[in-house]
Structures are given as structure tokens and as C-alpha cells.
Structure 1
């Protein structure tokens, strides 16, 4: 959503929960009232005041699954004028230590299940709190039952809308993740915007099944619940098989998703009671029009595809009349444009065939930029990345879009998901949206692999539905031939058949891993369509050797093993 901040702080929103004895937070067998949530946050804020060294950055790391302690510590940080760095539990070793130390965390809140991740790490000056340990209970005991009069910001700190509250790592495909900054005012405003946009009510229940160390769960799920006075139900980790049972038991009415979670839900066995639940809305990104329609038809739940860059620099709002496949228009106040990164010139409007296919992708697809005032609040201690994001006075999102003549914007993938096949620029997301129509496919990921001579070839990973016993190469080729909007350069040269698409901790496709395997590495079977052939056949070791030799002849062999 288009948010530039507000005069309200998250601390104020937490404070509004005092005296409200309705259910506010649920996790497994734990049920807390809104009042208990506010009191628990105040107790942790008081403890934090004692634990943070004087003069240190007021930062704490949270290395937790989605347990009640996670939102309680975000609330505590808001009350104390501190900031929470969400630590990704899928990181390991030196990378994990780097995330904690880079964000200047002097306190790390974790749980026993994640303690092995810290074994052998050098974390000088970091105090570790283990939430399911007796020592933690003893530390917290003197502050239990804290009230409004007990709340005071950290020494030397004041709580203002511009106070830093979140440091959340963006999942870049290369280099170390960058810690984006989100202030109390921006988070409060984001919550209020979603409350208004979706009509969130105090009697709603927001189901948080995406990881809270990522911005999606906090900004798009927890924050609007806090702003509306709605309840929050936490799932420790996303589970497709437990989704509906959770929704029913918690009475959940709203959830957010990222990446392939919707595909996993659609891949579960259909049941007669799939529509027997209180859920009314899902809000997220990258589900795709085909899967959104399938989800609505099966579960009776509308999915609203949105877009907002993790850093907050650009947002697209869905409005009435948004065409199928489009995300929406620029949010009020945003001056968004689709720009060719190499020239800085605005791309031409998209033109479509009668079947809806994009006719001028090579000239219409570009990077989404915000040429106006950007809500981007920077990266923690990363001036170089900040300057790259704001080059030329514009906010460069790093995401590919195209825009039609009416101004509606269509997501075309990440900037590193662009493919160049026979001198034509293609976007992975466009090809994926077409391949997703193939009925046996439970999940699809499209990515570039090296062409032996120049540029790229199209490769896809296919996860099949349970009822599909094996990959049907003839059926897949016939399906491709029947798609009127599949351009001549778009059909995959290589197809990797996988049991499950690899995903990151935030349920986005792990394209780096797929590109690294390419067509020569990995254990899953690969099918391919040799040049001039109409159909697919298994890629044999002899085929692979010939392809490698062809790459060697053109000096491209190193690209096969990157």
C-alpha cells in the first residue's frame, strides 16, 4: 500500500489494548487477551531497559518461529523505543552471525529449538535469552503485571513516529542480505491503510502463517490487526495440511501469503468441506491469476494480489476495474513508471493479442521506479546499497513490470528473473503464468540457463499434483502448442521434474538453487527439447556432455557450474 508514515506510533497502538479483555493473541494452547498482550509487551520493555548496555544501539534480534514471544517483543521494542531485527533461522554459521552482528544486536531472543544454530558462533557482547528456559521466566518475573505507569523509553530515547522499529532482511539473490529500516510511523500507517482498504473489523482474526522475521507477516498481517483491535492467531511454521484446521479452530478471517504457499494449499487433497470455514480474504503476492481463480473456486476465498517492495519505496493498489492479471494502479501520491534500466527512458505501453498475450514484451517490460517522494527509509549501515536503490533521485524497486494504456501495472518478475533468448527479453513471471494452466502442475518455476552460444535458454521446474503419476512429455508439448499467448521464444528448452519446488524461508521460489543446478546438476530427472524437435525426451549423460562441449567451444562452460 502507498504509505509514507503517520503521526501514530506502534507504541500508541499497543497502549490502546489496555483494559481490553477480548481475545487478542492465540498460539497453540495459549490464549491471551489484548490487555495481557499489552502488559506482556510492557514487561519485556522493562526487562530490555535493564539488559541493553548504555550507549549501545537499541537493537535486539529475534530468532524465533511464530510463537507468542515474537509479537510480544515487537510490542516491547515499540514501547521502549528500540528496534527488532528479525533473524532468519534458515541462515547458518558465519552468515547467521553476520546478520546478528551487522544489525548491532546486543540482545538475542531465541528458543531451545534454535540454540544449535548458535553453537560455535562468535557473538561478542550479545546476551542470549531463551524463551522456553527457566532462566527466562526468572528474569521476566519482576516485571510481570506491568501497567501503563511502568512504561518508560530506554534512557536517551523518545518514542516518535520516526523511531526505528524494524530491521528486516531483504532476500536478495546475490550478496549479503540488506537490513531495511521500518519506522513506527510507517508500520502504523501501513496497518491503518490495510484496515481501511479491506474493512478489517475488531472481531476479525488474522492468521499469521508466514514467518514473522519477514516484512510480509508483520506489515501486512500483524500491523492491520493491531490497528483495528483484531485478534492474531499464530502458526509456528506454514503448513498446507494444517491450514484449514487452524482456520476453523481459531475462527480466522484473514491471512497473508508469499510465494508458493497458495500452490501448496491447492495441492492438498480436495474435501467436501473445503468451503466450511470463516475465512473471507487472503492478501499477498505472486499467486498468479490462475491459482487465485482456482483458490476462489475451491475454497470460496478471494485472494487479493498486491505489490509493495520490501523496503516500502513503491506500492501498487488494486482498485475496482483492475483487469485480470494486473496488480492495480500506483497508490495515491506515488509517481510510478516502468523504465528501461539501460537508458532511463520510460517503456512503451503494453500491447496485447486477442488472447491476452503480451505482444511487445521486449519494449514494454522494465523496472518499476518511483519518481516521486519515496517512503523508503534506508538500509542499516549500507550506504552503497542505499545509493543504488535511490540512484538518480528515483527509487528503483528491482522488480520488473509492464503498464497498459490505462495505467494498470502487471508484475513481470524480479530484475534478476529476466531472460534473454535469441536477443529477445522475456520475463519469467509471464511464462510461469502460462505454464501454471497445465492441469497436472502443482507448481512452476521458470529461470534462465546458459545457451551454448549466447544469452539464455528457458528452463522450468515442475512439481506435479499427487494424481499425476509421472511427467507426460507428449501432453506437456501439446499443452504448450495450444496456448495462444505463448510466444515462440517462451517454451522451455529444459524441464526439471521435482517432488517439491525449493523455497526460501519466506516461501519464495529458491531460484538461485535452481539456476545453480541448471540442467547438468541435481538429482531430479530433466527432460529437454533438442533444437528442431517438437517434443521432449529425457536428457541423457551423452546429451549433457555434448551441451557442455558446445559451451566450451564458445567459452561459456564456466556458466554451467556457477
Structure 2
């Protein structure tokens, strides 16, 4: 992604622009006021951060005006913001803060209990919603953009350290420079035709890359306004959209399913929203969303680290994400050998016929803007094997070069010597009219490989009917013979991470030994029975007999 300057330049050009720029409840700040606030915080930052250390600050906030103000301030001052995940606890939270070498932590009173008892040597904490914070900031009210810099500012100046949510090990802090963020904003603003009159609704958490790269940055690049929801709320979504006049939003993970699960209203289409951009909604729910709300959802793909991007263009087939973005040489390869996988072949109903040979890991064999992880050379090396960027995501491609998402590499299942992708099965299960959300993961087979386990959240008022579910599966032309779930877990609510992605680690950890009802295809003939205590005991005996750990 080519740089188009710096974020600092985008912030500075708002000076003198008195149109609305930031909306949060009754608070409305103009573009000029945002720059004034950012300049004041940049000057404070320059005085508070010790010389000689890394110019890093941690931000432990919900989506309040202070978050974009401090992002803008860091850009002006040549500093970097580390977004801190408020769902982390104890030593893990302390580890995240200290790993980034932040010497300043910006937080709010609601999050102070998270810091109780933590050892954070050398870290000064500022609490934004206090009189002491207002008094500390007051002397800098007259600052202008450019008055205070910790270091020279250019496209290569580090601006973000944002943690990626890995399935194992400690989260890694991906680096993003001012040039890359400014380029991402300009690219998306151009691709989606963002106008200065637009309002971007930011309801995904700003400590995560999605909200900053795909929502805040294109609004900044286009001179559009932003509207903030402290934390995502499905029930408040439409009221917020109408109240703020929002025209664009981003989503991640289960957010779209939560919105579809809200009670339908006669005025569901009465709003100014025209576009949603995100990941993991799935083709079925994207169609349902458009039918109900009249809003087009664009499924995109861009690794958080910036190493690969796929663009959705006119003519993209249903279910596909798109083709490689300009400048990217994307390929689907065997994770072990690096050999390119053959194109996908489709049968009746779009069924993938050769998933075992077509599905592989997506790599970028061309130059990439991947800027590495903070203080993690081992993770850098893992991403950049053979001189390529390895995304860690499974894909397959059709003969025309369109790419289809098939899940994370750790979401792959090996059933009867056949490789399956969780996302492929999830997309099929999402068609079942009784399902509000579906997740698929592996559980060990007692002998070898994996078995398929599905976790389902049913629509309000629905009850699981094993015969109806089995009939649904039999009617799906693209459900391969190895794809049908052996176990079906019925939950009230899908476990998710702080960014609304399915918490697959938790699902895999519990497996079929969970507190929820589990239905079991005991004989492998498509007939589901409830897994009771007797059945569970018999099943566990099989694992013990073959020495297979659970």
C-alpha cells in the first residue's frame, strides 16, 4: 500500500474547518476543535514522556472522544499509541502494557479496577474523566499543531502498536507507521467513495486495528465525521445510526449476527446508512442484512499486519472475497511445501469438490507493507518465511483468480484423511433458518484425526429439532460427506473475544464436555441423539482405549 503522506498532515489540514467532526452522545466537536484538542495533548505528551525512551503511550479506553484525540495527538507529536484490550486481566494486562514500553497510560475511571494490584514500574496513569486530568491539560489549551514534537514526523514514523489476537501464546503487537495508516485511509476512502459529508459510525473497539484502519482512517482521509459508540450494542445500533446520521460502519466477527437477532421493526430501513465493511459476516447473513436493512455489506480481507489485501470488485462471485489488491502477488499454497494449490472445482449448488487439494494458506509473494511486530523477531521470521508473507489464513481460488476464505490455519480439520475448513461448513450451517449463529471446530477422533463439532445459537423462541436439522443437512448440495457435524452443541450465546470474533479456543477447550446440551450422531448415520451421561461415559471409554487425549 503506497504511502500518501502522514496522519499528522491529515490532522493538521482540519485546522480552520468548523464542520462537525466528532459525535459522542450530546457532544459534538468540529474538525478545528479536534485539532485544537490534539495539539494540546501533543504538547502535554511532549512534557510528560521521559527523554531517551520509546515515545509510546498506552490507551485503555472505551470508544470515547479521548481515544481519537490521543491518536491525533500522537501523530502530531511523533509518538505511538498502543491500544490496550480491557478484557485482559491481571498479569496478562500488565504484560501487554509493559511489552509496549509505554511510559504513559491513558484510561478512565471505569477501567481503574483493572489496574488494581498491577506492577507497572515507570508507567504514569492519566484518568481522563477527572478534574485532575482537566487541570493537567488546561495550560496547553493554546497549543497549535506542530508546536510540540518528540521526534521528526514522516511516513516511516511509528504510530500504532495494536495487538493481534492469536489462538495461542501472548498477543503480538503489530507495528503500523503513519504512512501505512494514511495510505490505508486514502485507499478505502477512494474505494468506497467516502465524502466529506459522510459520518462513520465507530462501534467496534478502537484498541483493535479494524476500527482505526477501516473506520477512523478513511474518515480522516476524506474529511468526514465520526460518531462513537463506547461499546458495541445491537439494540442501540439503529437509533445511533439515525441520531448521528451515520452512512458507513465497520464490523468484525459476530456483530452482524447480533444485529440480525434483534426484533424486526417496521422502520428497519428508515436510516441513512448505505454501507458496512468488515469480515466474517458470511454470504448468507450479508444477504439477510441487505434484505432487512437495505444496506450492502462488503466482505473484505486485509491482514491486521498489512501483509496482504483482497479487493471486492464488480463481478466478484457470491461467496468470494475478491481478487488480490494491486501490487500484491497472492497465492494459495501448501503450508509445508510451499507449492501452489490447484484451482477449486465446484459442483452442483456451488459445492467445493476438491477442498482437500485446493485449500491452502494464503501468501503474498510480492513486496508487502508488513512492518513487523514490536520486539518479537521470532514472530517476524514466522510471518516472512521464504521471503513471502504468510497470512495464517486458509483460502481457495477459482480458475478466474477469485479468492474464497476458508478459515484460520488453526481452524483446519482433518477428517478421515480429508482436510476441511471450518468456515466452509459454517457458511452452510448459517443457511438453517433456526440458526442465529454457527461455529465449527475440531474435536479429536478417538482413533486418529478430527471429528466435526458445531456450536449453534438458535433464533429466539426456537428449540433444537434433531430430525429437522438432519433433514436440512441432507438437503445441502455442497455439504461434503465428511462435513456433517458429529456433535452439535446448543448455546444461549456464542462465546466471543473482545473484538466480537468467535472464541474458538474456549469452544475447543470444552469440546463435548460442556454444560450445554450436546447432540451426537452416535452411529454416523445422520441421526442425532442427546449425549447423556451414559453416552458420554461410553464415548470417553473409546478415547481411553485408544490412548487419545482430550
> Could you say which residue in structure 2 is the equivalent of 1:244?
238
Name the CA distance, whole Å, in 2 between partners of 1:95 and 1:411. Answer: 31
Gaps of 5+ in 1: none
> Could you say which residue in structure 2 is the equivalent of 1:511?
504
> Could you say which residue in structure 2 is the equivalent of 1:543?
535
Partner SS state of residue 350, structure 2: coil
User: Shift of the alpha carbon at 1:472?
Assistant: 1.1
Which of the numbers 100, 104, 110 marks the counterpart of 1:103? 100
> Could you say which residue in structure 1 is the equivalent of 2:225?
231
User: Shift of the alpha carbon at 1:151?
Assistant: 2.1
Mapping for residues 365-376 of structure 1, pairs under 5 Å: 365-376=359-370
Name the CA distance, whole Å, in 2 between partners of 1:105 and 1:386. Answer: 21
Name the CA distance, whole Å, in 2 between partners of 1:430 and 1:178. Answer: 27
Name the CA distance, whole Å, in 2 between partners of 1:88 and 1:418. Answer: 27
Describe the superposition over 1:220-239 as per-residue Cα deviations: whole angstroms up to 9, x where unpaired.
00000000000000000000
CA contact (8 A) 2:38 2:70 kept: yes
2:297 is aligned with 1:300? no
CA contact (8 A) 2:412 2:421 kept: yes
Which of the numbers 191, 201, 209 marks the counterpart of 1:207? 201
Aligned length: 550
Name the CA distance, whole Å, in 2 between partners of 1:142 and 1:357. Answer: 65
Partner SS state of residue 372, structure 1: coil
Describe the superposition over 1:368-389 as per-residue Cα deviations: whole angstroms up to 9, x where unpaired.
0000001100000000000000
> Could you say which residue in structure 2 is the equivalent of 1:254?
248
CA contact (8 A) 2:77 2:153 kept: yes
2:310 is aligned with 1:316? yes
CA contact (8 A) 2:4 2:186 kept: no
Partner SS state of residue 451, structure 2: strand
Partner SS state of residue 313, structure 2: coil
2:516 is aligned with 1:524? yes
2:432 is aligned with 1:438? yes
> Could you say which residue in structure 2 is the equivalent of 1:387?
381
Which of the numbers 473, 482, 485 marks the counterpart of 2:475? 482
Partner SS state of residue 463, structure 1: strand
Partner SS state of residue 411, structure 1: strand
CA contact (8 A) 2:56 2:81 kept: yes
Name the CA distance, whole Å, in 2 between partners of 1:555 and 1:139. Answer: 63
2:338 is aligned with 1:341? no
Name the CA distance, whole Å, in 1 between partners of 2:61 and 2:529. Answer: 45
Which of the numbers 342, 367, 392 marks the counterpart of 1:398? 392
2:272 is aligned with 1:278? yes
Name the CA distance, whole Å, in 2 between partners of 1:169 and 1:139. Answer: 29
Which of the numbers 63, 74, 97 marks the counterpart of 1:66? 63
Which of the numbers 63, 69, 83 marks the counterpart of 1:86? 83
User: Shift of the alpha carbon at 1:474?
Assistant: 1.0
Q: What RMSD over aligned residues (CA atoms) do the two structures have, in Å?
A: 0.8
> Could you say which residue in structure 2 is the equivalent of 1:408?
402
Name the CA distance, whole Å, in 2 between partners of 1:35 and 1:95. Answer: 38
User: Shift of the alpha carbon at 1:343?
Assistant: 1.3
Name the CA distance, whole Å, in 2 between partners of 1:269 and 1:22. Answer: 35
> Could you say which residue in structure 1 is the equivalent of 2:147?
151
Name the CA distance, whole Å, in 2 between partners of 1:453 and 1:542. Answer: 20
Which of the numbers 42, 51, 57 marks the counterpart of 2:54? 57
Partner SS state of residue 355, structure 1: helix
2:188 is aligned with 1:188? no
User: Shift of the alpha carbon at 1:145?
Assistant: 3.6
Which of the numbers 485, 492, 503 marks the counterpart of 1:492? 485
> Could you say which residue in structure 1 is the equivalent of 2:345?
351
User: Shift of the alpha carbon at 1:7?
Assistant: 4.1
Partner SS state of residue 331, structure 2: strand
| TM-score between the two structures when normalised by the length of structure 2 | 0.99
> Could you say which residue in structure 2 is the equivalent of 1:127?
124
> Could you say which residue in structure 1 is the equivalent of 2:545?
553
User: Shift of the alpha carbon at 1:334?
Assistant: 0.4
Gaps of 5+ in 2: none
User: Shift of the alpha carbon at 1:337?
Assistant: 0.2
Name the CA distance, whole Å, in 2 between partners of 1:444 and 1:205. Answer: 32
> Could you say which residue in structure 1 is the equivalent of 2:284?
290
> Could you say which residue in structure 2 is the equivalent of 1:471?
464
User: Shift of the alpha carbon at 1:531?
Assistant: 2.3
> Could you say which residue in structure 2 is the equivalent of 1:142?
139
CA contact (8 A) 2:486 2:524 kept: no
User: Shift of the alpha carbon at 1:554?
Assistant: 1.4
Partner SS state of residue 519, structure 1: coil
Name the CA distance, whole Å, in 2 between partners of 1:114 and 1:542. Answer: 46
Name the CA distance, whole Å, in 1 between partners of 2:375 and 2:319. Answer: 38
CA contact (8 A) 1:40 1:145 kept: no
Name the CA distance, whole Å, in 2 between partners of 1:145 and 1:550. Answer: 73
User: Shift of the alpha carbon at 1:535?
Assistant: 1.5
Describe the superposition over 1:319-368 as per-residue Cα deviations: whole angstroms up to 9, x where unpaired.
11000000000000100000001111000000000210100000000000
Name the CA distance, whole Å, in 1 between partners of 2:167 and 2:419. Answer: 20
2:531 is aligned with 1:534? no
| TM-score between the two structures when normalised by the length of structure 1 | 0.97
User: Shift of the alpha carbon at 1:25?
Assistant: 0.1
